């Protein structure tokens, strides 16, 4: 689970997951990234670019608001 993403495909390290300039899409915290919530309940702040790969398993649908 996360704040609204810039887009929904899986991300490699360094790919944009949140807005880097404060404009939509993915501008949850202006240009300062967003939050990721993991299955164990841990919440982690993230910069606009993925610091690690974000894999989306087959059959999983991300619920991401349209910009």
Per-residue tens of pLDDT for the chain, all 67 residues: 678 888 888 999 999 999 999 998 888 888 889 998 888 889 999 999 998 898 888 888 777 766 5
Q: How many domains does the chain have?
A: 1
Q: Which domain holds residue 26?
A: 1-55
How much is the pLDDT for 67?
54
Q: 55, 10 in Cβ contact below 8 A?
A: yes
Report the distance separating Cα 61 and Cα 21, nearest Å. 26
Residue 63 counted as domain residue: no
Report the distance separating Cα 3 and Cα 27, nearest Å. 9
How much is the pLDDT for 40?
87
Residue 13 counted as domain residue: yes
Q: 38, 54 in Cβ contact below 8 A?
A: no
Query: Tokens at residue 23, please?
Result: 């404009």
Residue 66 counted as domain residue: no
Residue 37 counted as domain residue: yes
Report the distance separating Cα 35 and Cα 58, nearest Å. 23
pTM above 0.85, yes or no: no
């Amino acid at each position: 689970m996360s704040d609204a993403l810039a887009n929904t495909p899986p991300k490699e390290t360094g790919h944009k997951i949140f807005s880097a300039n404060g404009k939509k899409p993915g501008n949850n915290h202006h240009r300062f990234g967003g939050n990721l919530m993991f299955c164990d309940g841990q919440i982690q702040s993230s910069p606009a670019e993925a610091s690690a790969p974000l894999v989306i398993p087959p059959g999983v649908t991300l619920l991401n608001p349209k910009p």
